[in-house]
Amino acid sequence: MEGLEVTVLLGLAVLVGTVLAPRLRVATPLVLLVIGLLLGFVPELRRIELPPETVLLLFLPIMLFWESLTTSLRSVRRSLRYIVPMSTLLVVASAFAVAWVATMFGLPWPAAMILGAAVAPPDATAVAALGRLLPQRTFMKLKAESLTNDGTALVLYAIAISVALGDTVTGWSITATVLLSYLGGAIAGIVVAAAAYAALRRMRNALSINVTLLLVPFTAFLIAELANASGVLAVVIAGLIIAWASPRITTAASRRTAMAAWPFGVYLLNGALFVLIGLEVQLVLHEISPSELWGLVLLTVAAWAVLLVVRYLFQLLVSPFSRPRSPALSARSGPGSLNRARVVSTVAGFRGAVSLAIALSVPLTTASGDALAGRDAVVFVTAGVIVLSLLVQGPLLPAVIRWAKLPSDDWATDELELAQRTITGAALAALDDIAAEHGISDDVREQARRNGYAMLELANARAFARAQAASDSDQITQLESMVVAPSAPDAVDAAAAGAESVTALTMLAASTGIDLTQRSPLMRFEETTRLKLALLERKREVLLRLRREGTVDDLLARRIEAHMDAEELRLSGVDDLA
């Protein structure tokens, strides 16, 4: 089929899946995968192949970069004792376990090891698409693990390919491959992020900023691949650095544009990828001879089951070495909560695009020109494991989450309210200095003060109301200690004074005897706008400080910053991309 026909077909498939998924109450990626499987029954459509370089060079950099930008760095830092072994040792253990099972089904050891490397890493895009029902902490740990484990899998794949092609593999060569992959990928990501930081600091145009950001993942991937390092790791490292520095090197207009464009683009790529995976499964299925089919089906089920068992047992073994839970979390968790959390994490370990790209990248022949034994089996089993993980674990995950009864993430709501009250209080404390610096009149300054204290009282009232609804005395005590007590007139006086000001402004605007040499409504409006923009800048400074200190989570800080960006654009009248 022609490229345009394929594009239209994929677009229609994504549209149908998007419409059907809410009505069927099924996750959209699962519907898209089934649509791809159904389309694969049409012989003409099965000719649409998924080149591995398409996944590695087009889909993965964009999707991994976006997942890195939307990852909580604080959660990553606090969960390193979990993430590091899960993204390295677990991948190795899973690869060898699958390889051992594959040899029992008659697969040669080199091909079995390639298969193990392909199916070992959970996929970041699949976890992001299907794991949204998880508690925030659990979701972020799984997402961080999935972002970093691809590097380990690709190292194992490179070693297995060398063995399969007859190259000499020694301990030194393995060590050099590991170091080059990890260190080279990290250095490439850091270098590209530093170059982007230096360039973005000099840009104020939203289009220029977003075009630069779009180039970052592809450039990082390219440089790493040229150095035979991990392009995946380079993209992730660059994304995490850019996410941390973004508030200082981007503008409100560029952030608003990015937040509208990136999720939509990633959704389309992700949806197209799930449809293509379904088509690829059908292609592989029709290329396998009937005599081999049932044996490979059994191997597929066995490999999938081994991955689940190894993941659960590995978490059980490393649990004593992971970071201890906080006393508050321990008190809220009932007996067996850790075991239930392990079951949830096991079921949420989906396989996806990276696994299929690794399998499809396997060479057809060895260095001597002979056909590489077991290649078709590797592709078939990998595709089957992906389908099983998505179509079995995906629908099963919501039920497992309900069964696990994991502690809820009320901390996010508490932290969000605390951050909002803190930045509002800081802006009010600096109001006099800001007003003097910008030449703001007394009446405009006092109006801003009354409005600020009214917002602060509203935030306090909401916090108390939510705490009382939860009937949790400990939480109420904690919230009382967080309340910022206003020193301005109480809420009733502030509301009355604000109403009088509005009435006076309306009367002045409607009066026929306005003295244009005095302070007109237009002058008051201009002063109010300048003051509000200055207060927003102060709030943003305090918010970034709270994020640097770890008081506020990165994702919560971005939510608050997004609201401030919208207010800044409204006040400044920015309605284009300049």
What is the token pair recorded at 481?
A: 């200690």
Give pLDDT, residue 1: 56
| Contacting residues for 1 by C-beta, under 8 A, at least 6 apart | 9, 44, 45, 47, 48
Residues 272-294: pLDDT tens digits? 888 888 888 888 787 777 778 88
Average pLDDT, the chain: 80
Give pLDDT, residue 331: 44
Calculate the CA dihedral of residues 225, 79, 393, 38 and round it to 10 degrees.
Answer: -30
| Confidence grade of residue 488 (pLDDT, cut at 50, 70, 90) | very low
State how far the Cα of 281 lies from the Cα of 33, in Å rounded to an integer: 10
Give pLDDT, residue 322: 62
User: Which one is predicted more confidently, 410 or 65?
Assistant: 65
Give pLDDT, residue 471: 55
Residues 352-376: pLDDT tens digits? 878 887 887 777 777 676 777 888 8
Give pLDDT, residue 327: 47
Lowest-pLDDT range of 87-101, 353-367, 385-399, 478-492: 478-492
Angle at CA of residue 428, ends 425 and 429, nearest 5°: 85
Q: Region 69-83: what's the mean pLDDT?
A: 85
| Confidence grade of residue 213 (pLDDT, cut at 50, 70, 90) | very high
| Confidence grade of residue 517 (pLDDT, cut at 50, 70, 90) | very low
Does pLDDT of 330 surpass 50? no
DSSP character at residue 56: I
Residues 7-57: pLDDT tens digits? 898 899 999 999 998 898 888 888 888 898 898 888 888 777 667 667 677
Give pLDDT, residue 217: 94
Give pLDDT, residue 242: 93
| Count of other CB atoms within 10 angstroms of residue 134 | 23
The answer to whether 430 touches 452, Cβ cutoff 8 Å, is no
Lowest-pLDDT range of 99-103, 128-132, 352-356, 462-466: 462-466
Give pLDDT, residue 42: 85
User: Which one is predicted more confidently, 133 or 493?
Assistant: 133
Give pLDDT, residue 302: 95
Residues 218-262: pLDDT tens digits? 999 999 989 888 888 899 999 999 999 988 899 989 998 888 889
| Confidence grade of residue 507 (pLDDT, cut at 50, 70, 90) | very low
Q: Region 116-139: what's the mean pLDDT?
A: 82
State how far the Cα of 359 lies from the Cα of 128, in Å rounded to an integer: 22
The answer to whether 30 touches 394, Cβ cutoff 8 Å, is yes
Give pLDDT, residue 570: 87
User: Which one is predicted more confidently, 198 or 439?
Assistant: 198
Q: Go through the domains of the chain in sequence order and give each one's CATH number.
A: 51-321+336-408 (1.20.1530.20), 411-508+517-572 (no CATH)
Give pLDDT, residue 505: 33
Q: Region 106-120: what's the mean pLDDT?
A: 91
| Contacting residues for 271 by C-beta, under 8 A, at least 6 apart | 10, 13, 14, 17, 18, 28, 29, 32
Q: Region 389-408: what's the mean pLDDT?
A: 86
**Residue 251, helix vs strand vs coil:** coil
What is the token pair recorded at 141?
A: 């740990």
User: Which one is predicted more confidently, 532 or 168?
Assistant: 532
Rounded percentage of the chain residues whose pLDDT exceeds 70: 83
Q: Region 196-225: what's the mean pLDDT?
A: 92
Lowest-pLDDT range of 145-149, 400-404, 561-565: 145-149
Does pLDDT of 486 surpass 90? no
Q: Where are the alpha helices (DSSP H) in 394-441?
A: 394-404, 410-429, 431-437
Does pLDDT of 120 surpass 50? yes
Q: How many CA atoms lie within 13 A of 299 on its CB side?
A: 27
DSSP character at residue 521: H
Does pLDDT of 324 surpass 80? no
Sign of torsion over alpha carbons 65, 69, 71, 76: positive
Give pLDDT, residue 102: 93
Residues 134-182: pLDDT tens digits? 887 788 888 888 888 887 888 888 888 888 777 666 777 778 888 888 8
In three state form, how does the secondary structure of 365-392 look? ECCCCCECCCHHHHHHHHHHHHHHHHHH
Give pLDDT, residue 95: 93
